[in-house]
Structure 1
């Protein structure tokens, strides 16, 4: 039976996944980590709190976010 994973679930109960952190993460650990979920979704967690909650997105939602980031849609948040 496939594990049902929803938004806000503790990252520590998500088993069988590999969390990936960006190579651009800084020494302070200010980064997010992502993991591909068995059902096709993507979990996102704060790398400073790896036991904390994870947000879960569909592949389409993640694709839209990544494309928006590439296009500069979120540049105002990095100033």
Structure 2
């Protein structure tokens, strides 16, 4: 499982980033949302189609996805800050 691409969200709101995930060699998920709750915890949501979610994740899998995406987002921001020096 790996993050293919991550894009920080505009400031404001609960969405921190959008990301694309390769679950395995057979399955990729695009435009997943990394969101932050008021208590600081992050979770992952699938995009919508026809006003309905396209996928759902168990609590433990959601936690693993959110941790992986948050790590990728922090690495991206650290790399971007280093390039702006």
TM-score range, shorter chain: 0.3 to 0.5
Q: Higher relative contact order at CA 8 Å, sep ≥6: structure 1 or structure 2?
A: 1
Which structure: greater helix fraction?
Answer: 2
Which structure: greater strand fraction?
Answer: 2
Using the size of structure 1 for normalisation, the TM-score is: 0.34
